[in-house]
Amino acid sequence: MELRLLRWQSSARAETCREYIASLLASWCADWFIQTQEDMRVERLLDGDEVPNGQEVQWWLVKAGTNRLHLAVSASEMQLMGRRMLAMEASRSQANGLFATTSQKAVIDLLRRLCGMETEAAMEAEELSGAPEEAVLAARHGALGFEFGSPFTGARLYVNAGWCDRVAPVKQNTRSGLTGRTSAISGAKVRVEAKVALGELSLHDTLDWQVGEVLVMDAPGVTVASLSCGDRLLGAGRLLTERGVFMVKMDKIEMAGNSGSGKSANG
């Protein structure tokens, strides 16, 4: 049996992103290539954590707001792209610098367009000295990778989760309506843990602990307990007791969309 990495994004969302990139590529090609038949297309969605390596590969990073775009293209492909843009013959080797500069400007312009930025001032672009950490390109962190190109050249583009959210926003369930598939799990039980932060103490102090010793909390007054589910903080409130049982009266809800007054939540 073969195990394959999950893509961590729905096919519909990936397709929306692919279409968006494809439409921008078409207008970008029309603006930068003298011969308009040199259309570049999105060839495929990269599988799993497929990342090119090798010394030949140049990496570009663009940051704009929460958008992070990484582009990988080989130096020879950059030159070839510039040559095609200017529609010059391959034998004009003395113009290699011009080709590289042209394709570099074009690539930055493509990334700017993909970020939805009108001007370069609103974004940071840099050529990286090597491949980025794999984590920022990994599908499990919400990144999507696309290979695009034409018969003569190609490049790989990695878009982060922030970019995907802008181009293909995830539909949020409204608070009052657990709809569709979500309603099927509405009755499932989850464990919510209550914790009280007692303060900080030195490691040295902990060595002296003995049974019977009393640790006194730093702050007097109301005891605040936090509620969490797994590693996610849900909120915080006052720790109370009633008929010998602990309770937490919620003062703050961390989950988006929940506010206002309510009633008893659990028994």
Residues in the site for other proteins, rule: CB under 8 A? 175, 178, 185-204, 206-207, 209-217, 219-221, 223, 225, 227, 229, 234-235, 237, 239-242, 244-253, 255, 258-267
Kindly state the DSSP code that residue 10 receives in the 8-state scheme: -
Q: What gap in Å lies between CA 164 and CA 8, rounded to an integer?
A: 12
Nearer to other proteins, 1 or 214 (CB): 214
Residue 57 beta carbon to other proteins: minimum distance, rounded to whole angstroms: 40
- Spatial separation of the C-alpha atoms in residues 131 and 142, rounded to whole Å: 18
User: Of 75 and 201, which has the nearer Cβ to other proteins?
Assistant: 201
**Residue 129: how many CB atoms within 10 A of its CB?**
7
Four-CA torsion 252, 253, 256, 260, nearest 10 degrees = -70
Which CB, 122 or 215, lies closer to other proteins?
215
Distance in Å, CB of 165 to other proteins, minimum: 21
Q: Which tokens belong to 42?
A: 């999105």
Cβ at position 71, least distance to other proteins in Å: 39
CB 229 within 8 A of CB 254: no
DSSP annotation of 188 reads -
Helix axes of 96-115 and 11-32: crossing angle, nearest 10 degrees: 140
Shortest distance, position 185 Cβ to other proteins, whole Å: 5
Burial class (CB in 10 A: 0-12, 13-18, 19+), 248: buried
Shortest spacing between CB 171 and other proteins, in angstroms: 16
Closest CA to 13 of 134, 149, 144, 113: 144
CB of 241 to other proteins, least distance (A): 5
Q: Measured from the CB atom, is 12 or 265 closer to other proteins?
A: 265
Q: Which residue's CB is nearer to other proteins, number 130 or number 220?
A: 220
**130: part of which helix (H) or strand (E)?**
none
Helix (H) / strand (E) element for 44: namely strand 41-45
- Closer of 121 and 207 to other proteins (Cβ): 207
C-alpha of 31 from chain center: 29
Which is nearer to other proteins, 75 or 198 (by Cβ)?
198
CB 155 within 8 A of CB 52: no
Nearest distance from residue 224's CB to other proteins, in Å?
10
Cα–Cα distance measured from residue 258 to residue 256, given in angstroms and rounded to the nearest whole number = 6
